[in-house]
A and B are shown apart, each in its own frame.
Chain A
């Protein structure tokens, strides 16, 4: 695969001359597949290089190879020069001297990356005592300083806490403290904020950025999130299927991408942009195909399309239509109180929430973890009993109903789940799983069931042969399509989409969002669309509701959301969403890149 290299020197702003890290023709093989095929990278001192790609492109493998943390069964070839020394040829003892002292690492999962039986102070002191030979007391004192440096409040008290006393964001700060403790020259951060909430993500990235500048470290940032890259990277390298396809400065890659894959990724990425709405634009899609004969992979992408302006949907601005003429809302929730029990006791997850969803409307629900959105959706669908309040679906209050009485109403509201790998029974064929749903709702005629299954598979863009196959034969995106088919086969009026694209790659995300929009038009559906990602909400929602700690703090029309939000929490959420980089003043080769409007706040 050809690599598109921009003239790197032209964009060099901060780096010093000799590269700190040089990767030459790196190739990595796992026993069953090649993970990295001939990657070259160069990272200078004091700069941020972002390594971007979708899942499976090999970016984490590259990071693992640099740190020397790949499992024993891999084969590696090539060179990784750190300060002139080839890390692949150094003895293990000298590599261990480098790790922690010269090369620091930060990983993706803060919840499991700390040892649960040691205090955080001990875990920070450990790296100091290993490389700096400090006494226990001196190491502990330095650990407290580091905790302060990563902005953990009350460091003297916290230093003796165990990881389970800390939240995800706090644990990631501790990881950063461990990584920078010995002031390494290179930091490798592998998806450091992917598992964190949006507001925490912004804080952690900001912390990382300022620490890096303060200590003059270089940062190799591995991520799939282009918005993050746009905000924090100096230079960008794009990977696809084990190869590097493009490299350049951030501006070069973002505003004059040369490789088609990069262009596709950029176009398919969502940003907070008033024009990017499902009623106006169909998202660019990247489709990967495998040639059945040669096994060769290829991809194609469609550009963003403007849609023909349709008659404004009935619920576009419900406030403006006189109440008498508007059809009754498909869902009305009044003063809903819901709980769930965990081993810590019963937790009130939804506190007096009230809202409406009109027919054919999409209500976007935004909130971070613990805000109650999952409990809310489960209560509406009838998986969780409500303690008080009303859930009026198509005119009937579901709360007092149970068992048999509830069954016929269940068909009217269905759910699409977040995790495509857990949402299908691995032992049932797709067709059987879809038919079963119909059987449960009383459809006895087998021929009719099969007809509906075929029609549904068609509607979600899956081939008819899919019915005979098992879930493990499908990719994540395809499984999500099956999940949508299962939700829609009962012809519901309201579909609750619980973070349906959060677990998907950028390219697949665009396809699924386009599918949601298309199905909505075709079947006249209403959606309760839940996401923590404001750019997704910006695309999919007609109105937006924000939840925090079980309470609905604000509800606004989507068009006014980003400009008129008043509640401090909403403003924090909006501020935490990374800015998409603004194009510099007119350049000749920016012509083929779609117009990007600046943020309209």
Chain B
């Protein structure tokens, strides 16, 4: 097992390097450099002779006056030590900004993943078992709609209906101000209350994806020869569908889950923005609005690492479930 993990980590290394290099290239692509932009904002550019010196000073302080390869080396060194730099827009080290918001995004992401996988896989199994029945047709039609809905729009619509008009759920934020005073249970309940709309919105698209995919995978699996063997043993339909079919059909779904972590992060950007959820997604949006490229790139780096970690987790789980994969090699 350890060797397996080590091997996969080794495979990830060039990818990590590639992302760093990509980041660096993108920084260089941005028109104008940071020094000019910052100088422009502080209003010092209007000055005659003094502005050029100021810009040069800024450039030096940002480390931009050394040749490109030296900048790359410096950048890599910083990334490796997780020194993600300083955000001038927000006036705080990037590391701090990220650390404050990780938990919120994690809560949102994991909850919606569990919801989407649970509901989606179950629906997919039921649809495949009674193919073309009324349930299948109804659910498939509903899933087709859910698959077509823009996440941010659904968020706004749900906000309007449930937050504004019906007022069943709060329209933003993660918790009421000062709720900590009421004790941990009250705080947890409050967070949960705030969590409902964002999680449901984020889960809708994913549920449709997993439901459709599980259905297709189950339909394929139910036509395999070993299902016929299972039926020839006189096993109940429940045993055939769950013990024999689903255990095999779930494997490609697992791979899909790993591949879709990136989509989850994308969804969280718009969701957190709409619901003012204080997480990494909202930070991303703010960075976009403020054109804070270095923050964006740090977020890119971090989320790539996250996807890699999720991918590794999925691989391990897959190897556990599929005996054909030799985990000791």
> Which residues on A are within 8 Å of B, measured CB to CB?
67, 69, 95-101, 104-105, 107, 109, 112-119, 126-127, 130-131, 162, 164, 175, 178-179
Contact = CB atoms under 8 A, between A and B. Distances in A.
B61 interface: no
Contacts of B322: 116-117
B232 A116 contact: no
* 5 smallest beta-carbon distances between A and B, as pairs: A99-B234, A100-B234, A100-B233, A105-B232, A112-B225
Nearest to B231: A69
A115 B322 CA distance: 11
B247 interface: yes
21 contacts: A69-B228, A96-B236, A97-B234, A99-B232, A100-B235, A107-B228, A107-B229, A112-B224, A112-B225, A113-B226, A113-B229, A115-B247, A116-B322, A116-B324, A119-B323, A126-B235, A130-B234, A164-B323, A164-B324, A178-B233, A179-B232
B228 A113 contact: yes
B248 A116 contact: yes
Q: Quick one: which of B225, B229, B231 has the most chain A CB within 10 A?
A: B229
Interface of B: 224-226, 228-236, 244, 247-248, 321-324
A117 B323 CA distance: 6
B235 A117 contact: no
Given A162-B324, A164-B324, A114 B226 contact: yes
Contacts of A114: 226, 229
A115 B226 contact: yes
A113 B322 CA distance: 17
Contacts of B236: 96
Chain B at the A interface: SS class: helix
Nearest to B235: A130
Nearest to A161: B323
A96 B226 contact: no
Nearest to A178: B233
Contact of A112 (B226, B232, B244, B323): B226
A320 to B, nearest CB: 52
Given A100-B234, A117-B321, A126-B235, A178 B226 contact: no
A401 to B, nearest CB: 39
Nearest to A119: B323
A386 B235 CA distance: 51
Q: Quick one: which of B224, B234, B247, B324 has the most chain A CB within 10 A?
A: B234
A113 B225 CA distance: 5
A126 B233 contact: yes
B237 to A, nearest CB: 9
A162 B231 contact: no
Contacts of A112: 224-226
B246 to A, nearest CB: 10
B229 A131 contact: no
Contact of B230 (A67, A115, A131, A162): A115
B233 A107 contact: no
Given A115-B248, A164-B323, A99 B228 contact: no
Given A109-B225, A117-B248, A101 B231 contact: no
Q: Quick one: which of B226, B231, B247, B321 has the most chain A CB within 10 A?
A: B226
A126 B248 CA distance: 17
Contacts of A69: 228, 231-232
Nearest to B236: A96
Q: Quick one: which of B229, B233, B324 has the most chain A CB within 10 A?
A: B233
Contacts of B247: 115, 117-118
Contacts of A162: 323-324
A178 B323 contact: no
Contacts of B235: 96, 100, 126-127, 130
A101 B323 contact: no
A211 B248 CA distance: 32
Given A69-B232, A115-B230, A115-B244, 11 more contacts: A100-B232, A104-B232, A105-B229, A105-B232, A107-B228, A107-B229, A107-B232, A115-B229, A115-B247, A117-B248, A178-B233
